[in-house]
Structure 1
Amino acid sequence: MNTEILGVILQWVCLVVLCYPLGRHIAKVYKGEKNIMDFMAPVERFIYKVCGIDPEREMNWKQFLKALLTVNLFWFIWGMVLLVCQGWLPLNPDGNPGQTPDQAFNTCISFMVNCNLQHYSGETGLSYFTQLFVIMLFQFITAACGMAALAGIFKGMAAKTTKSIGNFWVYLTRSVTRILMPLSLLVGILLVINGTPMSFDGKQTLTTLEGATQEISQGPTAAIVPIKQLGTNGGGYFGVNSSHPLENPNAFTNMLECWSILIIPMAMVFALGFYLKRRKLAACIFTVMLAAYTCGIVISVWQEMAGSPQIDEMGIAQDLGSMEGKEIRIGSAASAMWGMTTTVTSNGSVNSMHDSQTPLSGMLQMLNMQINCWFGGVGVGFMNYYAFLIIAVFISGLMVGRTPEFLGKKVEAREMKIATMVVLMHPFLILVGTGLASWLAARNPELASSWLNNPSFHGLSEMLYEYTSSAANNGSGFEGLSDNTPFWNITTGIVLIMGRYFPIVGQVAIAGLLAGKKFVPESAGTLKTDTATFSVMTFAVIIIVAALSFFPALALGPIADYLTF
């Protein structure tokens, strides 16, 4: 068997096998049950004492959201100040200047909302100080916020009738101390062993074989890369992200980093089953997500390994597949695998340039983010699927003449309205943003030429991808787009905010509203939600509501690009 294909299969197996025990551990952490990380309890108690937090205090869904939004606002102000002033701060041996206000706004918002859309080059756009105390810090906080929100939803779903969905601060702290930090330390050690730098020295000046001098950036890379992947953050320490040989040195680190992207989102689905004691429901949800993810991998790997038909017509062999924008040490299959993995989550890191991948691969990457619930980011991935579940329950109940119920709670008009708004906000943000950018580009050809690296269909795809990535809190880009301008910094910043907080508020509100309703025991008339039939129904709702909303835009972009490829 082709060794590249074998590597893809091995990574897929490692994800599926290891996410189950991790899911069990996550459920124990959030339920407060005994687990292997209990030795962190004194550290947690110290944090609660210093911050004035009462860990025993229960919150309703409104108090829960208030705490979540407040901590995000605080860190946004913190990040803005440090990014603008980084030129005067310590740990800046390379003398990198502060960011402009519009770029700092985009950078700060991007990392606050777990997107990490980088309109700057990592090694030249930030100092070591801001890499650690803004970027790395935010990558822990924003991932933990998403996980804490899902933990609150878990509690609301598990309770028969309650006004409380837990304590946000406890969930936030445990997400860091018992899940993100231990895994990050493990991955970081493996990266250091394999050659990823971990130092505070400035650039190295080396002499090449040709006799020229070259400056090599380094720094505390191994501290930042693990949480960038595990927290589905994706913000590269270097400008070219994980295609850089110091950020991703070899085939093993490539598999390790790609595995790190998806292991927690996958485990979160099984954590739902353990928390609710409904493993069959979790298995049905996991199967739908895994099937969609696997289909994307198969198609993309086939496309990238097949190479370009135009080059075939020229009689040039493409034994390595389509290698434009890819690293030889990684290969076309592993690049395709990473592209699918990073876009089914809200990670956004890259080990190749997505702008150079074949049109169908680019379309699938966009479609993953446009659907935005195939595993998704840590915590928020299942939360997006949860909104589709509510819609599927309501529609299915009407179709078969049964009362729409989910986990013993009646789904009524109020929950449906919120779920519908959450689901429709995503295509609204993407299509309106792309339409505005396209209109401006059409009216001003000079502006279009300064933005776009490619004309026609592919140029539209570059703009569509940018807003898709922003709304999905992904952060990857086609990179043919010159996006560090006030227009792109501000408009994508607005999309980032709306794409992150509107769904979280809506989904936590649904969970809180359902938790407060009277529990209705299952009966012969109850609609079963843990069956293959309902799984297919949910999949159909996702495809009809989410995927088809984007078909006209995809037809004008990557599909048209493919037909002329």
Structure 2
Amino acid sequence: MNAFLQYILYLAVLVALAIPLGAYIQKVMDGEKTVLSGVLTPCENVIYRIMHVQKDEQMSWKKYLLSVLAFSGIGLVFLFLLQLLQGVLPGNPQHLPGVKWDLSFNTAVSFVTNTNWQAYSGESTLSYLSQALGLTVQNFVSAATGIAVLFAMIRGFLRVKTQGLGSFWVDLTRCTLYVLLPLNLIISLCLVGGGVIQNLKPAQSVPLLEPIAVSAEGEIIDGAVIDAEAGTVTLDGQPLKGAQIITEQFVPMGPAASQVAIKQTGTNGGGYMGVNSAHPLENPNPFTNLFEMISLLLIPAALCFSFGRSIKNRKQGIAIFMAMFLCLVLALGVVALNEQLATPQLMQGGAVDVSAVEQAGGNMEGKEARFGIAASSTWAVFTTAASNGSVNSMHDSYTPLGGMIPMLLMQLGEVVFGGVGCGLYGMLAFAILTVFIAGLMVGRTPEFLCKKIEPYEMKWAVLVCLATPIAILAGSGIAALLPQVADSLGNPGAHGLSEILYAYSSAGGNNGSAFAGFNANTVFLNVSLGLVMLFVRFLPIVGTLAIAGSLAGKKKIAATAGTLSTTNAMFVFLLIVIVLLVGALSFFPALALGPVAEFFQSIA
């Protein structure tokens, strides 16, 4: 019952905060006056003067797209060079060397595309300058880019016989200045108050309360008797040669809270620490865990309500929200149930007590004791639904079906809320596909939001919907054939295939989370995953803006008795079915060979 109430609380808080934030975002992006206008409007105007931007410029979809690509390309090159040269740049108290070229490429692509896949440990690889000037900046602007493209598409539905979709530079500025900066300032202060570190100190070495012994391979030797003064280690009365006594611990420092806030709200996910929000200095307690977890879906959920308000049809925004929300609840139920019940191996012979009496129970492998199963399962679902990728537990240790659902959420094309902006415009592409299929069934020209949906829009909508399956299946299929990739696996058999599939699903779903048993820091994987991230980020942007430009040039069609309602329960059901048909069925053979096969092995 306690776990059930936690799930209800998390979902209720999310909806309660998303509704007013959605109203605020709509006012900001539509240029209306807000509570911060008196303070921020002068700053906004100064930015336009410095950038030589015309506030009322109306870009065609091609010019808008060119601006997006140019801005992202410059950011990619800058971040790539910043990592290569960090060894000779300031802001590097640990004196870390420059990052090798393939990892620099992968990381630059990852953060520019709002994916934040990390094949490294941040605290031991990147300097404070690289983290703050490179990663944190991209966390802000890549998120703002997704929201800007969404509102360009919204204007495509609203405008009649025109080519103007607004200015990308204005949209980028408003989103960053009015939404992301104030929101993350508040969250950063709350996180610092909760114990997340925020400083510029070099890493510290602190003495352990008790020394530990490790083998030559770096593994902790359980049951060893340590004589620190004599420097000897014995096990069962026998001296161990090659064993090393560890008396100090490395404690990373740095500006973590400011990056943690935007990594959550911007659906970025890149952790300041290698183990992300499972690290006690990045996510120390249930208070910070709640803040960080709700932040995962806050803006994506709010944008559904912004969409309804912007198009002057709040029922449409609620319908899209309900389609996403129902998928989220279903996914959360499956993961929670499987993690609470654990696996037959854990229950075998009563060796592990999986009951929930006065303990978390279930499958606690890979989960933090301070969070338990409820908070860990919720985070796993929220982060993969949001295309965020931050974690507070190790997904590699989840049960077969519990680990499959986060994988499937990414494979659906990040449309169950998804990334900020990109999740909603991806779902709108599925909505266009839905009304087209429904129109074929009744023999009527499909319409959506009073605009005719014709072959041009359909072609681009199909590409937007299929970009994720194409990239994931092609990438993981090629990788599975290479012996060098097999050497990177942490497990053999079905679980090993799941590790490969999860990695490419994470990159192809603009997510960034990992199974944590897969060593992806090789030249082939860094480059191939980077190419997948580029493909899946920018092909949907091209398609979305092309659809927006086409719709803006059309006239509005009056609704009649034969017009398909896109705000009722039937449309919500059809939309969910189409999402599952395109996403789930595309990946069924791969899932059957990976997590499904592992599930049947576990019960055999």
Give the TM interval when normalised to the shorter protein. over 0.9
Are positions 1:408 and 2:445 aligned together? no
| 1:210 match: secondary structure | strand
Deviations 1:234-262 (A, max 9, x none): 00000000000000010011111010010
- Other-structure match for 1:354: 395
Deviations 1:50-99 (A, max 9, x none): 11111111111111111111100111111111000011111111111110
- Other-structure match for 1:330: 371
Deviations 1:177-227 (A, max 9, x none): 111111101110011111111110101121111151112001001111000
Residues 122 and 238, structure 1, Cα contact 8 Å, conserved in 2 = yes
- Other-structure match for 1:224: 259
Tell me the CA shift for residue 449 of structure 1.
4.8
- Equivalent positions of 1:228-243 (< 5 A) are 228-243=263-278
- Equivalent positions of 1:445-464 (< 5 A) are 447-464=484-501
Residues 403 and 526, structure 1, Cα contact 8 Å, conserved in 2 = no
- Other-structure match for 1:291: 326
Are positions 1:430 and 2:472 aligned together? yes
Tell me the CA shift for residue 514 of structure 1.
1.1
Tell me the CA shift for residue 525 of structure 1.
2.8
Give the residue type in structure 1 aligned to 2:406.
Q
Give the residue type in structure 2 aligned to 1:489.
N
Residues 60 and 163, structure 2, Cα contact 8 Å, conserved in 1 = yes
Aligned length: 559
- Equivalent positions of 1:124-139 (< 5 A) are 124-139=124-139
- Other-structure match for 2:25: 26
| 2:85 match: secondary structure | helix
- Other-structure match for 1:176: 176
- Equivalent positions of 1:67-466 (< 5 A) are 67-210=67-210, 212-315=247-350, 316-319=352-355, 320=360, 321-371=362-412, 372-440=414-482, 444=483, 447-466=484-503
- Equivalent positions of 1:6-25 (< 5 A) are 6-25=5-24
Deviations 1:481-509 (A, max 9, x none): 11000010000010000010000110111
- Other-structure match for 1:469: 506
Residues 403 and 527, structure 1, Cα contact 8 Å, conserved in 2 = no
- Other-structure match for 2:525: 488
Give the number of the structure whose alpha-carbon radius of gyration is greater. Answer: 2
Counterpart-to-counterpart distance in 2, 1:224 and 1:337: 22
| 2:249 match: secondary structure | strand
Residues 479 and 485, structure 2, Cα contact 8 Å, conserved in 1 = no
Give the residue type in structure 2 aligned to 1:49.
R
Deviations 1:284-309 (A, max 9, x none): 11111101101111111111122232
Tell me the CA shift for residue 526 of structure 1.
2.1
| 2:209 match: secondary structure | coil
Residues 24 and 34, structure 2, Cα contact 8 Å, conserved in 1 = yes
- Other-structure match for 1:517: 554
Task: Give structure 1 regions of 4+ aligned residues with deviation exceeding 3 angstroms.
Answer: none
| Higher helix content, 1 or 2 | 1
Residues 92 and 129, structure 1, Cα contact 8 Å, conserved in 2 = yes
TM-score by length of 1: 0.97
Counterpart-to-counterpart distance in 1, 2:478 and 2:5: 44
| 2:327 match: secondary structure | helix
Residues 26 and 268, structure 1, Cα contact 8 Å, conserved in 2 = yes
Counterpart-to-counterpart distance in 2, 1:99 and 1:169: 31
For the structure 1 residues 163 and 254, does the alpha-carbon distance in structure 2 shift closer, same or farther, using more than 3 Å as the test?
Answer: same
Cα RMSD (Å) of the superposition?
Answer: 1.1
Residues 370 and 547, structure 1, Cα contact 8 Å, conserved in 2 = yes
Counterpart-to-counterpart distance in 1, 2:343 and 2:451: 53
Counterpart-to-counterpart distance in 2, 1:78 and 1:307: 46
| 1:205 match: secondary structure | strand
- Other-structure match for 2:565: 528
Residues 297 and 336, structure 1, Cα contact 8 Å, conserved in 2 = yes
Give the residue type in structure 1 aligned to 2:353.
A
Q: Which runs of 5+ in 2 are unaligned?
A: 212-246
Counterpart-to-counterpart distance in 1, 2:571 and 2:364: 41
Residues 386 and 507, structure 1, Cα contact 8 Å, conserved in 2 = no
Residues 58 and 164, structure 2, Cα contact 8 Å, conserved in 1 = yes
After alignment, is 515-524 or 281-290 more displaced? 515-524
Percent identical pairs in the alignment equals 46
Tell me the CA shift for residue 323 of structure 1.
1.2
For the structure 1 residues 252 and 8, does the alpha-carbon distance in structure 2 shift closer, same or farther, using more than 3 Å as the test?
Answer: farther
Counterpart-to-counterpart distance in 2, 1:8 and 1:519: 43
Tell me the CA shift for residue 175 of structure 1.
0.6
Tell me the CA shift for residue 425 of structure 1.
2.2
After alignment, is 418-427 or 486-495 more displaced? 418-427
Deviations 1:372-392 (A, max 9, x none): 211000000011111111111
| 1:373 match: secondary structure | coil
After alignment, is 174-183 or 228-237 more displaced? 174-183
- Other-structure match for 1:548: 585
Residues 198 and 219, structure 1, Cα contact 8 Å, conserved in 2 = yes
| 1:22 match: secondary structure | helix
Counterpart-to-counterpart distance in 2, 1:181 and 1:45: 17
Residues 300 and 419, structure 2, Cα contact 8 Å, conserved in 1 = yes
Tell me the CA shift for residue 448 of structure 1.
4.9
For the structure 1 residues 30 and 232, does the alpha-carbon distance in structure 2 shift closer, same or farther, using more than 3 Å as the test?
Answer: same
Give the residue type in structure 1 aligned to 2:372.
G
Counterpart-to-counterpart distance in 1, 2:489 and 2:80: 28
Counterpart-to-counterpart distance in 2, 1:12 and 1:546: 24
Counterpart-to-counterpart distance in 2, 1:129 and 1:60: 37
Tell me the CA shift for residue 513 of structure 1.
0.4
Deviations 1:434-482 (A, max 9, x none): 1111111xxx3xx355210100000000000111110111000112111
Deviations 1:320-344 (A, max 9, x none): 2211111111111111100000000
Give the residue type in structure 2 aligned to 1:416.
M
| 1:536 match: secondary structure | helix
Give the residue type in structure 2 aligned to 1:136.
T
Counterpart-to-counterpart distance in 1, 2:561 and 2:486: 63
Tell me the CA shift for residue 420 of structure 1.
1.2
Counterpart-to-counterpart distance in 1, 2:207 and 2:4: 37
TM-score by length of 2: 0.91
Counterpart-to-counterpart distance in 2, 1:26 and 1:405: 27
Residues 402 and 527, structure 1, Cα contact 8 Å, conserved in 2 = no
Residues 473 and 500, structure 1, Cα contact 8 Å, conserved in 2 = yes
- Other-structure match for 2:243: none
After alignment, is 11-20 or 202-211 more displaced? 202-211
Counterpart-to-counterpart distance in 1, 2:449 and 2:197: 49
Q: Which runs of 5+ in 1 are unaligned?
A: none
